[in-house]
Amino acid sequence: MALEKKVVTGKVEMVGEWKGLQLRQDTIIEEDGKEISRKYWRRAYTPDMDLDALGAPEEVKKIAEVFWTDAHIKAYKDMIAAQQPSE
């Protein structure tokens, strides 16, 4: 009776106008090669986040490199700043 735990990327999705990324990781427990448990963990990333510092998986970083250009990141940050109440 051998138990094995695996963490795999279940899904990476791009959503919304600002191309946010959503990651679903699956934690799978197998007994003698047969799955007996699966749990999900989710994380959302926005263009202003430092993916390296957050430890994002390589597949998330590669997608972000394509879509999150410097101009896109600046526009996202400008939009966030414009939503802040002025003093």
1 Cβ contact list (under 8 Å, min separation 6): 31, 32
How would residue 37 be classed by pLDDT, with cut points 50, 70 and 90? very high
Match 């490199």 to its residue by tokens.
65
pLDDT band, residue 19 (cuts 50/70/90): very high
Is pLDDT at 55 greater than 80 in this prediction?
yes
